Structures are given as structure tokens and as C-alpha cells.
């Protein structure tokens, strides 16, 4: 450590920045994204439903709801000044539809929603905000994820294993909510929940620097540390011991009556993961049994395994000597695996699927954020503009080797894919650094398969008025 609390590598990242990835093309249907027909869908669902291995659902749930209510703060400032929010503003739409929200209180709705004397939602994590109205009572996203877990992540013995990442100050609130609803949902869905709350380690925080790349010091002279982004959750994911792991964001839920598509496509993704994992294991066993004579003989197993990698994971092998080719081929097959749902891009901000060139001469499928794409490169900009799909964070993972032992997920991180962003603290500019994103650079070394899923499976709540969409309203 060159400076207490920050590695020399992180300081070098501030000085040099992170390199852009070389994009070959966007991943599209037929070129990196699978659009399964009804036969393949049916087969994948059957594979998922027959599967007898351990399954866990992993939900990042530590994010605060402050951004969700940002528009209400702005509206409240206007009202306190004697003005009226525009009808089409967040506050305006919220006020005119106030009775429709599950947490409605007719008395001074904005203050009661935002501050501690009321609901205090602006300081809460999204997982504890009431999203949906039901005749039997309101539900938070945390509860909707419990319901979803029973719908597609249930083991054959009726157990539903789930892991939620939460912030330390809200862990007791989540535990209290679980204690109050667990028996109700177990009785309703005939299952047994095993839910674990884990914390994002403060050791993953990264020191901020000033505009001259010197440690940013607070008023008390202590350096300012900031969270390392969702890439810090790789610690938590790496600790999960399960054969199949679902990953989904906390705010992407719908009313239970509309969740049929979600259940169906989660099983499709899981089934495709299991099918691809089994095929990969067979190829690995066959390739490791080859002799030197087989290698020189251009064995058909090598040809078929290479085609399997290209067709399913976008991995095109380079032209190298036969012995090096076999070693690299085995290395490319012997990795963690993920199957990711991709929706048609309808203007949502965020990352998308691309085919990129790797440093070892191969290609791969990756999820890239806009900040990772060089807008000054005409080819990269063309690829971004011609991209057709969006990443909804709908991922099913396999983190175990064919022999049942676990991969160490930190061995598959591309450390050159972090992000540098410009922020401010008490009016002073600073530079902040984020670790490689959980589904971006943290999974760069995984085998990735993209499947097109319907937009009905993607229903995030970024602002409070998103709850007025049909997917979140009363039936």
C-alpha cells in the first residue's frame, strides 16, 4: 500500500484511467443472442423443473430509495415557496394519484412520505418501501421476491434459499419484516424459506481523490472513502455454495397476478444454463483424455468443442499451434457460466450485450456499460448506436466445476474494467473509483450466453411514479 487505505494499483487507476474495451459488434439475435423457439423453450423449462441440485436466489437490496423520491423533494421545495408543481412532474403526478399508492396517507402526503415523522421512505432501502396493494395487505419488493422465489427457485424438498445484500443500518428492519411475514408466505405457497442477510464489506470501499489525484480529505483531515459500486458484491456472491444462483435487482418486481412471464422465463434461463453446463462438462472430459497423437490428428472433438464455444458463448479461438490451442480451449471451457436474459432496448439507460476482442486473441460476449465504450471511436460508437438489446440484470449462474468444487470467482475478474467518475463532496469536486461491475468486469472471465426475454419480465422502479405503471397497480 503506497497510501494508507488505498493500493498502489488503485492510485495508478486514478492517474491513468481504465482502458476502453475493443468492441467487435453489438450482440444481436442470431449473432450472440439466442431467440429460442417453442420447442427449445419447452425443453429448457422441463430441464429446470426436473433439476435436483441446490438453488439460491441472490438479490442486491442495499440500495437506498433516495433517488426514487428525488422528484418529491423538488416538488416539496416548490410548495413551501408557494408554487405548484407542474402536472407532468414527478411531484405533480404523485399528488394527483396519491390515493393509488400503497403507502398513501391523505394528510400532508409529501412530508409523511419523505421524513422520519412519517414513513421516512427517502432514507429507506427500496426493499422496504411498500410497492403493491393487495386485498390481504400491502407488499414490499422484499416480499415480492419471496413470492417469486417460491415460483421458480424452489428445491424439490420445498425449500427456498435466498440471499439479500443489505446495509448494516437496515439489517434489523429486514429481519423484522421477514419475521412478520415468513409464516404467512410459507403457508400460502407450501414452502420453507431459508433467507440470509449479508453485508457489503466496508473493506471494498475505495478512497476518493481530488482533481490532482491526491487523497481527498474531509473537514476533519481524514480521507473520504466511497462504496466501490455493485462490483463489491462479488465477495458476497463468491461465498454462496449452490449449484444454480439466480441474480435479480430488488426493484424489478411485478404484481403476483402478472408474474407468469417472469416465472416462465426464469425457468428457461435456468434450463439453458443446465443444458450448456452439461455439454461443457462432456467436452472437458473428452478434451482432457486426448493424447498428443490425437491433437496432431485434428481430432473432431476439438472441432466440435470449438464450435460449441463459438455458437453458445461467442468465443472464437485464435490460430495458434495445436498444443497451445488445446490448452486454451480447455481453459475457455473450464470457467464459471452465466445465462443472461436480454430485452429489446426501448430507451432504458444502462448496459447492453456486445461481442468484444480479448487480449489472448479470442472473442467473448460481455455486458458493457455506456461508460466503458469509447464514444470518440467511430466503430465503437456505431456498435453502441446499432445495439438492439438492454441488460435487465436477469442472470442465472453456475459457479461450480464439473467435479462439484467451487470456482474462486476472483480469478475471473478483469481488473482493467473499473470506472472513474466525477463527484462532489460539500461543494468540492472529487474523483471516485468503482470496482469492475458485478455483471460487467467482475464476470468478464465467465462463459456468457445471452437469451432474448420479453420486456414484460423487466419492470424496475427508478422513480416513485413508476409505481403508477399497470405492472405495479391494483388488479
In the chain, where the domains are located: 8-65+124-472, 66-119
User: What pLDDT, on the 0 to 100 scale, is given for residue 350?
Assistant: 66
Q: pLDDT tens, 105-130?
A: 555 466 666 665 566 676 788 899 88
Residue 6 has pLDDT above 80, yes or no: no
Full-model pTM: 0.89
Q: How far separated are the first and last CA of the chain, in Å rounded?
A: 57
Q: Is 422 helix (H, G, I), strand (E, B) or coil?
A: strand
Q: pLDDT tens, 16-64?
A: 889 999 999 999 999 999 999 999 999 999 999 999 999 999 999 877 7
The share of the chain scoring above pLDDT 90, in percent, equals: 63
Domain 8-65+124-472 classified CATH 3.90.550?
A: yes
Q: How far is Cα 45 from Cα 312, in angstroms, rounded to an integer?
A: 18
Q: pLDDT tens, 217-229?
A: 999 999 999 888 8
H runs (alpha helix) in 69-163: 70-80, 90-96, 109-114, 141-152
Q: Is 16 helix (H, G, I), strand (E, B) or coil?
A: helix
What mean pLDDT do residues 384-413 have?
A: 95
User: What pLDDT, on the 0 to 100 scale, is given for residue 136?
Assistant: 86
- Write phi, then psi, for 40 (nearest 5 degrees): -70, -35
Residue 365 to residues 125, 217, 341, 343, 354, Cα–Cα distance (Å): 32, 40, 13, 16, 6
User: What pLDDT, on the 0 to 100 scale, is given for residue 112?
Assistant: 61
Q: Which residues contact 419 (CB under 8 A, 6 or more apart)?
A: 18, 229, 369, 371, 372, 433, 434, 437
Task: Tell me which residue of 431, 414, 413 sits closest to 422, measured CA to CA.
Answer: 431
What mean pLDDT do residues 76-101 have?
A: 76
Q: Which three cell numbers stand for residue 29?
A: 439475435
What mean pLDDT do residues 96-102 have?
A: 75
Do residues 366 and 441 touch, judged by C-beta distance below 8 A?
A: no
Per-residue pLDDT band for 3 (boundaries 50, 70, 90) equals very low
What mean pLDDT do residues 426-442 have?
A: 92
Decide the pairing of beta strands 206-207 and 192-199: unpaired
Higher pLDDT, 19 or 201: 19
- Reported residue count of the chain is 475
User: What pLDDT, on the 0 to 100 scale, is given for residue 144?
Assistant: 96
User: What pLDDT, on the 0 to 100 scale, is given for residue 349?
Assistant: 59
The share of the chain scoring above pLDDT 70, in percent, equals: 91
What mean pLDDT do residues 332-357 have?
A: 90
Do residues 475 and 259 touch, judged by C-beta distance below 8 A?
A: no
Q: Which of 101-105, 190-194, 346-350 has the highest mean pLDDT?
A: 190-194
What mean pLDDT do residues 308-328 have?
A: 94
User: What pLDDT, on the 0 to 100 scale, is given for residue 2?
Assistant: 37
Mean pLDDT of the chain: 89
User: What pLDDT, on the 0 to 100 scale, is given for residue 1?
Assistant: 33
Q: How far is Cα 82 from Cα 270, in angstroms, rounded to an integer?
A: 54
Helix (H) or strand (E) segment spanning residue 159? strand 159-166
Amino acid at each position: 500500500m503506497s497510501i494508507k487505505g488505498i493500493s498502489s494499483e488503485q492510485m495508478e487507476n486514478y492517474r491513468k484511467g481504465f482502458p476502453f474495451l475493443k468492441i467487435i459488434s453489438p450482440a444481436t439475435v442470431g449473432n450472440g443472442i439466442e431467440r429460442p423457439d417453442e420447442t427449445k423453450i419447452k425443453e429448457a423449462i422441463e430441464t429446470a423443473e426436473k433439476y435436483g441440485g441446490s438453488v439460491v436466489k441472490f438479490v442486491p437490496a442495499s440500495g437506498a430509495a433516495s433517488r426514487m423520491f428525488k422528484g418529491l423533494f423538488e416538488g416539496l421545495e416548490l410548495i413551501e415557496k408557494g408554487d405548484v408543481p407542474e402536472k407532468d412532474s414527478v411531484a405533480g403526478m404523485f399528488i394527483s394519484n396519491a390515493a393509488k399508492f400503497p403507502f398513501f396517507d391523505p394528510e400532508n402526503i409529501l412530508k409523511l412520505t419523505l421524513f422520519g415523522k412519517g414513513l421516512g421512505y427517502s432514507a429507506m432501502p427500496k426493499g422496504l418501501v411498500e410497492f403493491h396493494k393487495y386485498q390481504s395487505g400491502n407488499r414490499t419488493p422484499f416480499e415480492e421476491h419471496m413470492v417469486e422465489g417460491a415460483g421458480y427457485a424452489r428445491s424439490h424438498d420445498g425449500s427456498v434459499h435466498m440471499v439479500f445484500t443489505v446495509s448494516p443500518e437496515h439489517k434489523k428492519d429486514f429481519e423484522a419484516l421477514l419475521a412478520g411475514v415468513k409464516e404467512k408466505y410459507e403457508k400460502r405457497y407450501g414452502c420453507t424459506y431459508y433467507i440470509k442477510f449479508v453485508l457489503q464489506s466496508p473493506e471494498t470501499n475505495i478512497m476518493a481523490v481530488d482533481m490532482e489525484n491526491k487523497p481527498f480529505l474531509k473537514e476533519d483531515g481524514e480521507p473520504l472513502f466511497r462504496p466501490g459500486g455493485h462490483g463489491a458484491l462479488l465477495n458476497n456472491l463468491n461465498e454462496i455454495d449452490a449449484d444454480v444462483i439466480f441474480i435479480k435487482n430488488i426493484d424489478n418486481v411485478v404484481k403476483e397476478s402478472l408474474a407468469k412471464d417472469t416465472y416462465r422465463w426464469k425457468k428457461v434461463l435456468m434450463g439453458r444454463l443446465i443444458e450448456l453446463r452439461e455439454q461443457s462438462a462432456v467436452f472437458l472430459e473428452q478434451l482432457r483424455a486426448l493424447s498428443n497423437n490425437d491433437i496432431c490428428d485434428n481430432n473432431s472433438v476439438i472441432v466440435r468443442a470449438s464450435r460449441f464455444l463459438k455458437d453458445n458463448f461467442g468465443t472464437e479461438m485464435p490460430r495458434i499451434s495445436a498444443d497451445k490451442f488445446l490448452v486454451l480451449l480447455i481453459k475457455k471451457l473450464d470457467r464459471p457460466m452465466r445465462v443472461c436474459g436480454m430485452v429489446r432496448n426501448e430507451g432504458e439507460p444502462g448496459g447492453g450485450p456486445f461481442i468484444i476482442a480479448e487480449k489472448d486473441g479470442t472473442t467473448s460476449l460481455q455486458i458493457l456499460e455506456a461508460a466503458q465504450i469509447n464514444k470518440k471511436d467511430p466503430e465503437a460508437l456505431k456498435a453502441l448506436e446499432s445495439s438492439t438489446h438492454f441488460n435487465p440484470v436477469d442472470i442465472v449462474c453456475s459457479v461450480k466445476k464439473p467435479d462439484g468444487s467451487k470456482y474462486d470467482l476472483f480469478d475471473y475478474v478483469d481488473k482493467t474494467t473499473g470506472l472513474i467518475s466525477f463527484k462532489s463532496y460539500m461543494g468540492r469536486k472529487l474523483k471516485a473509483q468503482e470496482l469492475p461491475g458485478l455483471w460487467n468486469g467482475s464476470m468478464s472471465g465467465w462463459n456468457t450466453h445471452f437469451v432474448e426475454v420479453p420486456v414484460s419480465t423487466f419492470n424496475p422502479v427508478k422513480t416513485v411514479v413508476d409505481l403508477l405503471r399497470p405492472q405495479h397497480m391494483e388488479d
